[in-house]
Amino acid sequence: MTHTLIDPFQRAITYLRVSVTDRCDFRCVYCMSENMTFLPKKDLLTLEELDRLCSSFIRLGVEKLRITGGEPLVRKGIMTFFDAMSAHLAKGTLKELTLTTNGSQLDRFAADLANCGVRRINVSLDTLDDKKFADITRWGRLPQVIKGIDAAQKAGLRVKINAVALKGFNEDELFTLQEWCASRDMDLTWIEVMPMGDIGNEDRLDQFWSLKDLRSRLANQFTVTDLAERSGGPARYVRIEETGQKIGFITPLSHNFCESCNRVRITCTGEIYTCLGQEGHSDLRAPLRTSDDDAVLETAIRAAIGLKPKGHDFDYSRQDVSGRVSRHMSHTGG
Ligand code: SAM
Ligand code: SF4
Does residue 187's CB lie within 6 angstroms of at least one atom of ligand 2? Answer: no
Ligand with an atom nearest the CA of residue 204: 1
Expressed in angstroms and rounded, the spacing between residue 24 Cα and the centre of ligand 2 is 6
Does residue 106 sit within a domain?
yes
Does residue 220 sit within a domain?
no
Domain that holds residue 111: 15-160+260-332
CATH of the domain at 95: 3.20.20.70
Is the pLDDT at 231 greater than 80, yes or no? no
Does residue 100's CB lie within 6 angstroms of at least one atom of ligand 1? Answer: yes
- pLDDT by residue (tens digit) across 164-204? 999 999 999 999 999 999 999 999 999 998 865 555 655 55
Render the burial of 65-77: b for 16+ CB within 10 Å, e for the rest: bbbbbbbbbbbee
Does residue 288's CB lie within 6 angstroms of at least one atom of ligand 2? Answer: no
Does residue 81 sit within a domain?
yes
* Domain count for the chain: 1
Closest-CA residue to 126 (of 182, 169, 96, 180): 169
Q: Read off the pTM.
A: 0.93
Is the pLDDT at 96 greater than 80, yes or no? yes
Q: What is the mean pLDDT of residues 29-58?
A: 96
Does residue 3 sit within a domain?
no
Does residue 210 sit within a domain?
no
Q: What rounded mean pLDDT belongs to the chain?
A: 89
Give me the torsion for CA of 46, 28, 272, 57, rounded to 10°: -60
Does residue 308 sit within a domain?
yes
Its sign, for the CA torsion 101, 41, 88, 79, is positive
To test the ligand 1 pocket, which listed residue (38, 123, 191) has its Cβ within 8 A of the most ligand atoms?
191
Does residue 69's CB lie within 6 angstroms of at least one atom of ligand 2? Answer: yes
Ligand with an atom nearest the CA of residue 199: 1
Q: What is the DSSP letter of 160?
A: E
- pLDDT by residue (tens digit) across 309-332? 888 653 323 344 344 555 666 666
Cβ atoms < 10 Å from Cβ of 201: 7
Does residue 4 sit within a domain?
no
DSSP states along 307-320: T--S-TT-TT--S-
Does residue 304's CB lie within 6 angstroms of at least one atom of ligand 2? Answer: no
Does residue 307 sit within a domain?
yes
Cα atoms in the 13 Å half-sphere on the side-chain side of 29: 18
